Amino acid sequence: MFERFTKDARAVVTGAVACSERADAPAVTEEHMLLALLDLRAGRTEFAIRALGVADRRDALESALAEARRRGGLTKADEEALAGIGVDVGEIVARVEEAHGAGALAGDRGRRRRSGHRPFTREAKAVLKNSLRIAVGRRDRTIGAEHLLLALTARPGVVSEVLADHGATYVSLERALFGTPNSGTAQAG
């Protein structure tokens, strides 16, 4: 599949690995892919990110992603569903952090493989696969950074939720990237 990636898409993948390394994360996640996309400095994807004002809100995006990590990766929808059955996620997070320290639910750090290789999480791999589906649905011959960005918004989860909260939904990005939504586009994750 990687032979179909454009130079920009390959830069996103290598940038995601670099983001993962800087964060000392055990694996490359969807979040790392988003941060790498925000680092792009040319092309259609950067234009769309700037046109929607997302580039100007990087600090707010990073803060929202950090808060989601602090909650153990729960989306707002997850939190609301749990609240509906009487579970107060904020209280649970507070108790866990009181017992184990701030950020205890943020995930395992430093549990890398001995080789130093950082694998991609199941969710990050799904984004890569979905970028291919989106490219095929648009009848594009290659997979570009724009397809990776759309794939991030097509998958339910924290990254798509944070992007949507900042005005970058699948539809708004598709409009900024290509002008109008393509009826043949595959959004399913």
pLDDT at residue 13 tops 90: yes
Q: What is the pLDDT of residue 109?
A: 46
Share of the chain above pLDDT 70, in %: 84
Q: What is the pLDDT of residue 188?
A: 47
DSSP the chain: -GGGB-HHHHHHHHHHHHHHHHTT-SSB-HHHHHHHHHT--SHHHHHHHHHTT-GGGHHHHHHHHHHHHHTTS--HHHHHHHHHTT--HHHHHHHHHHHH-TTGGG---S---TT---PBPHHHHHHHHHHHHHHHHTT-SSB-HHHHHHHHHHS-SHHHHHHHHTT--HHHHHHHHHSS--TT-----
Could you report the per-residue pLDDT of 21-34, keeping only the tens digit for each?
998 888 999 999 99
Taken in order of first residue, the domains within the chain and their CATH numbers are 2-73+119-178 (1.10.1780.10)
Q: For the chain, what is the mean pLDDT? A: 84
Could you report the per-residue pLDDT of 72-125, keeping only the tens digit for each?
777 777 777 777 888 776 777 667 767 777 666 665 544 444 456 889 999 999
